[in-house]
Chains A and B, each alone.
Chain A
């Protein structure tokens, strides 16, 4: 069974999107990067991101990640912001009752795309 299936597949991603996005928007340190964006489109992107870090089906490339976040890096997006996002991801999963070892697996996938997202 894949990590994605173990976590509950699409239903669990859907449950996680609202919680994760709400946590991110509540955090003034990172919320400014999301100002003025179309919330529905953004929720779609969050869903794609969560599907990927849950180990689910995806076809995203490092290049997509780089292009998609370049304008945010130009605005100052850096490692400290990324740590905040990882923390929100961790608490989202904890809120959904995901066990510690599974959380760690998700976090390491999310951490593996850090250099692409931060254009390093």
Chain B
């Protein structure tokens, strides 16, 4: 019989009993609905131990990579320590190592966290504002192999956290951070699959991590990167992305601007129409879409209607309010 540990308490799981039934039998409430492995509302995470493969049936590969499983169809074969899917992690301090402007409204911060953070390139962390109560999410542009966390912060009018990070925080200061979470990252389940990456504004941050992660993991399929902004001054990392494209034949980079002239190799027009024209058929593609939620949702729908499978679309939209 396996032992299930949850929130510091251990429970004996009877033979043929699922993790969900075991916990409920011990009066431990876990959200659930269909109890047949379909609705995914009882998703949990294995902190210690490995759940049987069948308990991950139907989960997106990014969730499997983070050891998630469905409690209602998980008959454990070994002891497991489990937590809820959304369990909040601990806050920790991170020192600001570097601060520089990427363009007129985006600042780049590089942080050294107090403890090492396990993360996948493209996930996000939370940061507390000066008041200690406002919290905002920012995507990581760094790779786990780099010895700092990199964030791209856009200044938002009246934004409590973004203005604090832009105007007050200095190199050497400490920030309260928590992380990392999110489903927008690379997995090498199909290294030959063509990838389409669409970033709007600071939506480039997670993609900059995902692109370099895919290259580091020897992705062989083509990688098409589109970065959209209102006008050329809103773009950034143009040279970095051009260099990556020069170094890797499989990678192409297209900056898109709505107004004015696009930089060399770029296109003038709204990024959604540009992508629609360049990729009328997305069957078989894996698509990553990041940035302002309204644009992300609309591009997501367009990519799905153009043939990309729902399971192949990854996005992390944030509200920048």
Residues of A within 8 A of B (CB): 10, 14, 17-18, 21-22, 25-26, 39-40, 43-44, 47-48, 51, 56-60, 64
CB closest chain-A residue, reference B32: A59
Q: Is the interface of B mostly helix, strand, loop or mixed?
A: loop
**CA of A60 to CA of B34, assembled, Å:** 6
The answer to whether A57 touches B305 (Cβ under 8 A) is no
Whole-angstrom distance between the alpha carbons of A24 and B35 in the complex? Answer: 27
Interface presence of B156 (CB below 8 A):
no
**Interface residue ranges of B20-69 to A (CB < 8 Å):** 33-40, 57-58
Contact B39 A44 (CB under 8 A): yes
Partner among A14, A25, A26, A57 whose Cβ is within 8 Å of the Cβ of B37: A57
Q: Is the CB of B310 within 8 A of A17?
A: yes
The distance from the CB of A76 to the nearest CB of chain B, in whole angstroms, is: 22
Residues of B within 8 A of A26 (CB): 305
Q: Does B250 lie at the interface of the complex (its beta carbon under 8 Å from any beta carbon of A)?
A: no
Q: Please, how many angstroms separate the alpha-carbon atoms of A44 and B37 in the complex? A: 11
Selected contact of A58 from candidates B38, B301, B311, B313, CB within 8 Å: B38
- Of B33, B34, B38, B39, most buried by chain A (CB within 10 Å of CB) is B38
A22 touches B304 (CB 8 A): yes
Q: Report the interface size class on chain B.
A: 10 to 19
Check: B126 CB closer than 8 A to any chain A CB: no
At the interface, yes or no: B300 with Cβ under 8 Å from chain A?
yes
Question: Secondary structure at chain A's binding surface: helix, strand, loop or mixed?
Answer: helix
Q: At the interface, yes or no: B309 with Cβ under 8 Å from chain A? A: yes
Q: Which of chain B's residues has its CB closest to A46's CB?
A: B310
Assess whether A47 is in contact with B38, with CB atoms less than 8 Å apart.
yes
Q: Closest chain A residue to B310 by CB distance?
A: A43
Listed by A's residue number, 19 A-B pairs whose Cβ atoms lie within 8 Å are A14-B311, A17-B310, A18-B310, A21-B310, A22-B305, A25-B301, A25-B304, A25-B305, A39-B297, A39-B300, A39-B301, A39-B313, A47-B58, A48-B34, A48-B38, A48-B39, A57-B36, A57-B37, A59-B33
Given A10-B57, A22-B304, A26-B305, A39:B310 Cβ within 8 A:
yes
Minimal Cβ-Cβ distance residue in A for B315: A40
Chain A residues lying within 8 Å of B300, measured Cβ to Cβ, are: 39
Q: Is the CB of A40 within 8 A of B310?
A: yes
With contacts A39-B310, A40-B310, A44-B39 taken as known, whether A10 is within 8 angstroms of B58 at the C-beta atoms is: yes
Report the minimum CB–CB distance from B107 to chain A (whole Å): 31
| A59 interface neighbour in B35, B57, B301, Cβ under 8 Å | B35
Rounded to whole angstroms, the CA-CA distance of A56 and B36 in the bound complex is 10
Cα separation A51 to B34 with both chains bound (whole Å): 11
User: Which of A18, A22, A40, A59 meets B36, CB within 8 Å?
Assistant: A59
Cross-chain contact B36 with A58 (CB below 8 angstroms): yes
**Cα(A44)–Cα(B38), bound, Å:** 8
